[in-house]
Amino acid sequence: MGVDTNVTTVIGRLTKDAELKQSDYSIGFFTIAVNRKKKHADGNYEDEASFFDVNVFGRYAETIIDRLKKGVQVCIVGELKQERWTERGTGNNRSRVVITADTIQIIGGN
């Protein structure tokens, strides 16, 4: 049986300044926008943005958080995690995919 692999690399820009929360350990979180060109039937291209939530943990979060400002371009290497929950009131099942960053490289300003 093969081994599953969960590694992703994404380059995008922060949509707002990163935030840091501290409890038993530090958690940094932010969202990046990743643009791609989408071709229409008429041959014209349009930018299409996808948005990804990113988490970073521990001492690494504490050391990098001050440099993660809105508009900064970053390269994220990490793993994907699907979070699942049930909405209160409606009982609807919801989910989202979050990137847990192993490394964050700042590659451009805003």
Quick: pLDDT tens for 51-110.
999 999 999 999 999 999 999 999 999 999 999 999 998 999 999 999 999 999 999 766
CATH fold of the domain at 8-108: OB fold (Dihydrolipoamide Acetyltransferase, E2P) (2.40.50)
Quick: pLDDT tens for 18-62.
999 998 999 999 999 999 888 888 988 988 999 999 999 999 999
pLDDT at 61: 95
Give the residue from 82, 104, 76, 72 showing the smallest Cα distance to 8: 76
pLDDT at 81: 95
Distance in angstroms (rounded) separating the CA atoms of residues 40 and 46: 8
pLDDT at 110: 63
